Each structure stands twice: as structure tokens, then as C-alpha cells.
Amino acid sequence: MSRKPRGFSVIIEEAYPISLRVMRTSRGLYRWEAEVKGISLEQVEDYIHKLDEWCRERFESVSQKAEAAATPKPSEAANPLPEIALPIRYREHDLGKVILGHDRTTIRISDSYKVKLEDPAISKFLIQRVINPLCEKYNVHCNTIEKDGYLREIVIDKPLFGKDAERIIESARWAITKAFSKPLEKKGGEGRNE
């Protein structure tokens, strides 16, 4: 049974002017060093250039294959589970959803409903009291996305789990429902959101 060495080094010395050292790392990558002595700068540069080309032809593709094999796959391949999307509903209306993603948490409001970022339920409660403290706790950012003057998404640059996820889900459901239902309650069930 042949075993690959964890790392090795080869030194080739050509009499006096050239010393080439090729090293294989424990990760299977190749590195080389050349020491050239000559009577002129042009001669030294020419030797170094030729040695570098020679090493690249023989070792660079092997190093690239080893590096590609050692590189971790993207997070999607590492986590094949689907993202969790939990609905936000008010009576028979699907107002949006809270998406517990692999690399972020998103509160998305359906395009057919109009909720303003300035609404106190959103700005003062959801963002100031719930999201901002979580962002400070984990040292991450929160971005709000508006379209045509209405809030469409709130994105937290961190996946949330456990109690933090529960708090975001409950708070988002309450705040968006509250912001959506105000015009309906004022106008007897018919409002700008329908």
C-alpha cells in the first residue's frame, strides 16, 4: 500500500549559477524557489523567467486541482435543507412572510399590501425595540427595502434560531398586521390595502 508523503522538498543544483527548490505542501500544493547567479541582470532575469515557466508547466495544474479539492463548497451545497418561510396573515389576507434563511433573516411584505416604514408599529416597535437590539447583540446590519414609497423587505444579515427567531416571527407578525389593519379598522373594513 503506497502512502502519499505529507510534504516533501526537492533541490536541483546545476553546478554554480542555478539553484531550484521545489516544495510540495501538506495540502498538495507546489511552491518553488529559484536562486540564480549570473554575470548580468538580463542573464539572471532570463534564467528566472525560464525556470518559472518550466515549474508552472509541471506543477501549476496539480496545485490548482489540489486547491480546488481543498476549497469548501458553497453554503448551499453544505446545507441542502430548504429555507423556512413562515406566513404573516391577517384574517384572510396573506400579508407576507418571515424567511429564516441559511445566511440571513428576511421579513418580506407581499407586493399587493401597503405598509409604510414610518408606521409606529414598524419603525418604533419592530425596528427600534426588536431588530436593532438583535443587530447590536450579533454585530450585524439590518437593511430596509422600499418600493414606490412602501416597505417591501427588512433584511437582517444573520440567520436567526431559537428564541431570537421566535421573537422576530412574533414581532413581525404583530407589527405588520397592526400597520396593515389600521386603515381597515378606520374605514369599517374597507381601506387602501384591499
DSSP state of 4: -
Q: What is the mean pLDDT of residues 5-29?
A: 62
pLDDT at 161: 82
pLDDT at 185: 47
Q: What is the pLDDT of residues 101-140, one digit of tens each?
A: 888 899 999 888 888 889 999 989 999 999 999 899 989 9
Mean pLDDT of the chain: 76
Report helix, strand or coil for 84. Answer: strand
pLDDT at 184: 47
CB 6 within 8 A of CB 23: no
Measured at the CA of 130, the angle between CA 125 and CA 132, to 5 degrees, comes to 105
Question: Dihedrals φ, ψ of 125, to 5°?
Answer: -90, -65
pLDDT at 48: 78
Q: Which range has the top average pLDDT, 16-30, 77-91, 169-183?
A: 169-183
pLDDT at 73: 52
Confidence bin at 1 (pLDDT 50/70/90): very low
DSSP codes joined into one string, 86-154: EEEEETTEEEEEEEE-SS-EEEEE-TTS---TTSHIIIIIIIIIIIHHHHHHHT--EEEEEETTEEEEE
pTM for the whole structure: 0.54
pLDDT at 190: 43
- Residue 150: which of 94, 187, 108, 92 has the closest Cα? 108
Distances (CA, A) of 48 to 1, 42, 56: 39, 10, 12
Report helix, strand or coil for 188. Answer: coil
Indicate if the pLDDT at residue 84 is higher than 90. no
Greatest extent of the chain over all pairs of C-alpha atoms, in Å: 98
Q: What is the mean pLDDT of residues 64-82?
A: 57
Spatial distance between the Cα atoms of 161 and 168, rounded to a whole number of angstroms: 10
pLDDT at 60: 74
User: Which has more confidence, 68 or 44?
Assistant: 44
User: Which has more confidence, 70 or 87?
Assistant: 87
User: Which has more confidence, 182 or 29?
Assistant: 29
Q: What is the mean pLDDT of residues 27-33?
A: 76
pLDDT at 183: 57
* Cα radius of gyration rounded to whole Å, the chain: 30
Indicate if the pLDDT at residue 162 is higher than 90. no
